[in-house]
Amino acid sequence: MFDDVIHSFHKALSTKILDIPDSLKKADAGIDLCNNTLSQLKELIEKEDFENVPDEIEFFKNIKPCPMSYLIYFTEVRSCELRKPIAGDNFQLRFFEKELRKINKFFHKNNDFVHYMEQGHSYMDHQLFTRNHRKNFPFTPMINYYQYPEFSTSHDMLWSKVQAMYRFIHYVRESMQELRSGQKEIFKEKKHKVVVWSGSKTALVELIYALHATGDLNYGTADLNALISSFEDFFNIRLDNFYKTFSEIKARKGNRTKYLQNLILNLEAKMARDDEE
Protein backbone atom coordinates (compact mmCIF):
# COMPACT_ATOMS: atom_id res chain seq x y z
CA MET A 1 0.00 0.00 0.00
CA PHE A 2 3.06 2.25 0.18
CA ASP A 3 4.30 1.71 -3.40
CA ASP A 4 2.46 4.67 -4.93
CA VAL A 5 3.69 7.09 -2.24
CA ILE A 6 7.32 5.98 -2.56
CA HIS A 7 7.11 5.98 -6.36
CA SER A 8 5.79 9.57 -6.34
CA PHE A 9 8.53 10.55 -3.87
CA HIS A 10 11.34 9.19 -6.07
CA LYS A 11 9.83 10.73 -9.19
CA ALA A 12 9.54 14.18 -7.59
CA LEU A 13 13.01 13.85 -6.11
CA SER A 14 14.63 13.07 -9.46
CA THR A 15 12.62 15.47 -11.64
CA LYS A 16 12.00 18.44 -9.35
CA ILE A 17 14.54 18.48 -6.51
CA LEU A 18 17.96 17.05 -7.31
CA ASP A 19 18.49 19.21 -10.39
CA ILE A 20 18.04 22.49 -8.50
CA PRO A 21 21.50 24.15 -8.77
CA ASP A 22 21.34 26.24 -5.59
CA SER A 23 22.08 24.03 -2.55
CA LEU A 24 19.94 26.01 -0.12
CA LYS A 25 16.93 26.12 -2.43
CA LYS A 26 17.37 22.42 -3.15
CA ALA A 27 17.45 21.64 0.58
CA ASP A 28 14.32 23.71 1.28
CA ALA A 29 12.40 22.04 -1.54
CA GLY A 30 13.68 18.61 -0.48
CA ILE A 31 12.58 19.13 3.12
CA ASP A 32 9.05 20.01 1.98
CA LEU A 33 8.86 16.93 -0.23
CA CYS A 34 10.14 14.63 2.54
CA ASN A 35 7.76 16.02 5.15
CA ASN A 36 4.79 15.63 2.80
CA THR A 37 5.80 12.06 1.97
CA LEU A 38 6.24 11.11 5.63
CA SER A 39 2.85 12.61 6.44
CA GLN A 40 1.24 10.47 3.71
CA LEU A 41 2.93 7.33 5.04
CA LYS A 42 1.85 8.17 8.59
CA GLU A 43 -1.77 8.59 7.46
CA LEU A 44 -1.68 5.18 5.74
CA ILE A 45 -0.38 3.55 8.94
CA GLU A 46 -3.12 5.24 10.97
CA LYS A 47 -5.84 4.04 8.58
CA GLU A 48 -4.62 0.49 8.13
CA ASP A 49 -1.98 -1.07 10.35
CA PHE A 50 0.37 -3.89 9.35
CA GLU A 51 -0.97 -7.40 8.81
CA ASN A 52 2.05 -9.07 10.40
CA VAL A 53 5.47 -8.46 11.97
CA PRO A 54 7.49 -9.00 8.75
CA ASP A 55 5.47 -6.25 7.05
CA GLU A 56 6.11 -3.93 10.00
CA ILE A 57 9.85 -4.65 9.90
CA GLU A 58 9.93 -4.10 6.12
CA PHE A 59 8.26 -0.71 6.52
CA PHE A 60 10.47 0.63 9.32
CA LYS A 61 13.67 -0.89 7.93
CA ASN A 62 13.32 -0.18 4.21
CA ILE A 63 10.36 2.08 3.39
CA LYS A 64 10.11 4.87 5.95
CA PRO A 65 13.93 5.42 6.04
CA CYS A 66 13.84 6.37 2.37
CA PRO A 67 12.13 9.80 2.77
CA MET A 68 13.32 10.08 6.39
CA SER A 69 16.99 9.77 5.43
CA TYR A 70 16.55 12.45 2.77
CA LEU A 71 14.81 14.69 5.31
CA ILE A 72 17.82 14.40 7.63
CA TYR A 73 20.22 14.85 4.71
CA PHE A 74 18.51 17.99 3.38
CA THR A 75 18.25 19.36 6.92
CA GLU A 76 22.02 18.89 7.42
CA VAL A 77 22.76 20.51 4.05
CA ARG A 78 20.52 23.46 4.87
CA SER A 79 22.20 23.88 8.25
CA CYS A 80 25.63 23.82 6.56
CA GLU A 81 24.65 26.36 3.93
CA LEU A 82 23.35 28.74 6.58
CA ARG A 83 26.29 28.29 8.98
CA LYS A 84 29.31 28.19 6.69
CA PRO A 85 31.56 31.30 6.53
CA ILE A 86 30.49 33.85 3.96
CA ALA A 87 33.96 34.60 2.61
CA GLY A 88 37.42 33.07 2.57
CA ASP A 89 38.15 29.66 1.05
CA ASN A 90 40.40 28.64 3.95
CA PHE A 91 37.71 29.50 6.51
CA GLN A 92 35.16 27.48 4.54
CA LEU A 93 37.55 24.53 4.18
CA ARG A 94 38.13 24.44 7.93
CA PHE A 95 34.37 24.58 8.44
CA PHE A 96 33.83 21.55 6.20
CA GLU A 97 36.73 19.67 7.80
CA LYS A 98 34.98 20.14 11.13
CA GLU A 99 31.78 18.71 9.60
CA LEU A 100 33.71 15.62 8.47
CA ARG A 101 35.04 15.12 12.00
CA LYS A 102 31.46 15.26 13.32
CA ILE A 103 30.40 12.65 10.78
CA ASN A 104 33.28 10.37 11.78
CA LYS A 105 32.36 10.80 15.43
CA PHE A 106 28.76 9.79 14.65
CA PHE A 107 29.85 6.62 12.85
CA HIS A 108 32.32 5.74 15.61
CA LYS A 109 29.62 6.14 18.26
CA ASN A 110 27.22 3.90 16.36
CA ASN A 111 29.79 1.45 15.03
CA ASP A 112 28.03 -1.71 16.32
CA PHE A 113 24.68 -0.77 14.77
CA VAL A 114 26.25 0.31 11.47
CA HIS A 115 28.14 -3.00 11.32
CA TYR A 116 24.92 -4.93 12.00
CA MET A 117 23.11 -3.16 9.15
CA GLU A 118 26.00 -3.21 6.68
CA GLN A 119 26.49 -6.95 7.15
CA GLY A 120 22.86 -7.53 6.25
CA HIS A 121 21.95 -9.12 9.58
CA SER A 122 18.32 -9.56 10.56
CA TYR A 123 18.39 -11.52 13.83
CA MET A 124 17.57 -8.42 15.91
CA ASP A 125 15.18 -6.76 13.47
CA HIS A 126 12.17 -7.60 15.67
CA GLN A 127 13.77 -5.48 18.42
CA LEU A 128 15.03 -2.67 16.19
CA PHE A 129 12.20 -2.22 13.70
CA THR A 130 8.95 -3.04 15.49
CA ARG A 131 7.04 -0.73 17.80
CA ASN A 132 6.63 -3.38 20.51
CA HIS A 133 10.33 -3.11 21.34
CA ARG A 134 10.72 0.66 21.56
CA LYS A 135 12.03 0.38 25.12
CA ASN A 136 14.54 -2.34 24.30
CA PHE A 137 17.69 -0.69 22.93
CA PRO A 138 20.46 -3.14 21.94
CA PHE A 139 22.19 -0.21 20.20
CA THR A 140 22.18 3.52 20.94
CA PRO A 141 18.84 4.87 19.68
CA MET A 142 18.22 8.26 18.10
CA ILE A 143 16.68 10.96 20.24
CA ASN A 144 15.28 14.46 19.74
CA TYR A 145 13.98 13.74 16.24
CA TYR A 146 10.56 13.74 14.58
CA GLN A 147 8.85 11.04 16.67
CA TYR A 148 5.30 9.71 16.74
CA PRO A 149 4.63 6.62 18.90
CA GLU A 150 2.74 4.65 16.25
CA PHE A 151 5.06 5.79 13.47
CA SER A 152 8.44 5.07 15.07
CA THR A 153 10.56 2.20 16.34
CA SER A 154 13.67 2.43 18.48
CA HIS A 155 16.06 2.44 15.50
CA ASP A 156 14.37 3.41 12.24
CA MET A 157 15.52 6.98 12.84
CA LEU A 158 19.10 5.92 13.52
CA TRP A 159 19.16 3.82 10.35
CA SER A 160 17.76 6.81 8.44
CA LYS A 161 20.53 9.03 9.80
CA VAL A 162 23.21 6.51 8.84
CA GLN A 163 21.97 6.62 5.25
CA ALA A 164 21.70 10.41 5.40
CA MET A 165 25.29 10.74 6.61
CA TYR A 166 26.62 8.74 3.68
CA ARG A 167 24.94 11.24 1.36
CA PHE A 168 26.11 14.15 3.50
CA ILE A 169 29.73 12.97 3.20
CA HIS A 170 29.47 13.39 -0.57
CA TYR A 171 28.02 16.89 -0.18
CA VAL A 172 30.86 17.94 2.15
CA ARG A 173 33.57 16.42 -0.05
CA GLU A 174 32.16 18.01 -3.20
CA SER A 175 32.00 21.37 -1.44
CA MET A 176 35.65 21.02 -0.38
CA GLN A 177 36.65 19.94 -3.86
CA GLU A 178 35.14 23.08 -5.37
CA LEU A 179 37.01 25.25 -2.88
CA ARG A 180 40.44 23.76 -3.55
CA SER A 181 42.14 25.66 -6.35
CA GLY A 182 42.60 23.74 -9.55
CA GLN A 183 40.51 20.77 -8.48
CA LYS A 184 37.82 21.27 -11.10
CA GLU A 185 40.36 21.19 -13.93
CA ILE A 186 42.11 18.13 -12.47
CA PHE A 187 38.91 16.14 -12.19
CA LYS A 188 37.81 17.11 -15.70
CA GLU A 189 41.06 15.71 -17.10
CA LYS A 190 40.49 12.41 -15.26
CA LYS A 191 36.98 11.97 -16.61
CA HIS A 192 36.39 8.47 -17.97
CA LYS A 193 36.41 7.73 -21.70
CA VAL A 194 33.02 7.51 -23.37
CA VAL A 195 31.44 4.06 -22.99
CA VAL A 196 28.09 3.45 -24.70
CA TRP A 197 25.54 0.89 -23.51
CA SER A 198 24.67 -1.14 -26.59
CA GLY A 199 22.26 -3.60 -24.97
CA SER A 200 18.58 -2.97 -24.31
CA LYS A 201 17.47 -0.41 -21.74
CA THR A 202 15.35 -3.08 -20.08
CA ALA A 203 18.46 -5.22 -19.55
CA LEU A 204 20.30 -2.30 -17.96
CA VAL A 205 17.38 -1.56 -15.63
CA GLU A 206 17.35 -5.23 -14.61
CA LEU A 207 21.10 -5.06 -13.84
CA ILE A 208 20.78 -1.84 -11.81
CA TYR A 209 17.89 -3.19 -9.73
CA ALA A 210 19.92 -6.35 -9.06
CA LEU A 211 22.89 -4.30 -7.82
CA HIS A 212 20.56 -2.19 -5.69
CA ALA A 213 18.95 -5.31 -4.20
CA THR A 214 22.32 -6.81 -3.19
CA GLY A 215 23.20 -3.74 -1.10
CA ASP A 216 26.81 -3.84 -2.31
CA LEU A 217 26.97 -0.16 -3.28
CA ASN A 218 27.63 2.42 -0.57
CA TYR A 219 27.08 -0.28 2.07
CA GLY A 220 23.51 -0.72 0.98
CA THR A 221 22.59 2.96 1.29
CA ALA A 222 22.87 3.87 -2.41
CA ASP A 223 19.59 5.40 -3.51
CA LEU A 224 17.98 3.90 -6.61
CA ASN A 225 17.72 7.31 -8.28
CA ALA A 226 21.42 7.92 -7.64
CA LEU A 227 22.29 4.56 -9.20
CA ILE A 228 20.13 5.27 -12.25
CA SER A 229 21.77 8.69 -12.67
CA SER A 230 25.27 7.23 -12.30
CA PHE A 231 24.65 4.58 -14.96
CA GLU A 232 23.05 7.19 -17.23
CA ASP A 233 26.13 9.38 -16.92
CA PHE A 234 28.63 6.56 -17.36
CA PHE A 235 26.91 4.87 -20.30
CA ASN A 236 25.56 8.05 -21.92
CA ILE A 237 22.00 6.78 -21.92
CA ARG A 238 18.62 8.00 -20.70
CA LEU A 239 16.52 5.56 -18.65
CA ASP A 240 13.09 7.17 -18.66
CA ASN A 241 10.24 5.51 -16.73
CA PHE A 242 12.53 2.95 -15.13
CA TYR A 243 9.87 2.21 -12.48
CA LYS A 244 7.50 1.18 -15.29
CA THR A 245 10.25 -0.90 -16.89
CA PHE A 246 10.86 -2.73 -13.60
CA SER A 247 7.12 -3.38 -13.24
CA GLU A 248 7.17 -4.97 -16.70
CA ILE A 249 10.18 -7.11 -15.69
CA LYS A 250 8.30 -8.32 -12.59
CA ALA A 251 5.25 -9.15 -14.75
CA ARG A 252 7.22 -11.50 -17.03
CA LYS A 253 6.00 -15.06 -17.33
CA GLY A 254 8.50 -17.76 -16.37
CA ASN A 255 12.08 -16.50 -15.98
CA ARG A 256 11.82 -12.88 -14.81
CA THR A 257 15.60 -12.25 -14.66
CA LYS A 258 16.43 -13.10 -18.28
CA TYR A 259 19.37 -10.72 -18.59
CA LEU A 260 21.01 -11.80 -15.33
CA GLN A 261 20.65 -15.45 -16.31
CA ASN A 262 22.18 -14.65 -19.68
CA LEU A 263 25.14 -13.00 -17.93
CA ILE A 264 25.74 -16.17 -15.93
CA LEU A 265 25.54 -18.40 -19.02
CA ASN A 266 27.94 -16.21 -20.99
CA LEU A 267 30.44 -15.99 -18.14
CA GLU A 268 30.31 -19.76 -17.58
CA ALA A 269 30.86 -20.29 -21.33
CA LYS A 270 33.86 -17.94 -21.35
CA MET A 271 35.44 -19.70 -18.36
CA ALA A 272 34.89 -23.06 -20.07
CA ARG A 273 36.60 -21.78 -23.23
CA ASP A 274 39.49 -20.40 -21.17
CA ASP A 275 39.88 -23.78 -19.45
CA GLU A 276 40.06 -25.55 -22.82
CA GLU A 277 42.79 -23.21 -24.00
Are 12 and 149 in a shared domain? yes
275 and 255 fall within a common domain: yes
| In a shared domain, residues 124 and 241 | no
Q: Are 135 and 197 in the same domain?
A: no
Residue where one domain finishes, among candidates 127, 159, 184: 184
Work out how many domains the chain is built from and give that number.
2
Same domain, 61 and 150: yes
Residues 263 and 217 in one domain: yes
**Rounded CA separation 205/212 (Å):** 10
8 Å CB contact between 259 and 203: yes
Please give the pLDDT value at position 145.
44
- Is the pLDDT confidence value at 188 over 60? no
As a whole number of angstroms, the distance between CA 153 and CA 68 comes to 13
Distance of alpha carbon 113 from alpha carbon 142, whole angstroms: 12
Query: How large a percentage of the chain has pLDDT more than 70?
Result: 88
Phi, psi of 19 (to 5 degrees): -90, -5
In tens, the pLDDT along 199-249 reads 888 999 999 999 988 887 776 777 788 888 888 878 767 787 788 888 889
Q: How many CB atoms lie within 10 A of CB 204?
A: 20
Q: Check whether residue 9 and residue 138 sit in a common domain.
A: yes
> 261: domain range?
192-277
Which pLDDT tens digit goes with each residue over 13-45? Answer: 888 898 898 999 999 999 999 999 999 999 998
Inform me whether the pLDDT recorded for 140 exceeds 70. no
The pTM score is 0.67
Local structure of residue 219 (DSSP, 8 states): G
In the listed set 184, 214, 246, which residue is the last one of a domain according to the structure? 184
Asked whether residue 119 falls in the same domain as residue 226, the answer is no
Given this model, what pLDDT does residue 189 score? 47
Please tell me the number of Cα atoms within 13 Å of 260 on its side-chain side.
11
The domain boundary, picked from 121, 156, 184, lies at 184
Residues 101, 7 share a domain: yes
Are 125 and 232 in the same domain? no
- Are residue 172 and residue 210 in the same domain, yes or no? no
Please state, for a pLDDT cut of 90, what percent of the chain lies above it. 27
76 contacts 48 by C-beta, under 8 angstroms: no
Sign of CA pseudo-dihedral 236, 222, 220, 261: negative
Verify that 180 and 215 share a domain, yes or no: no
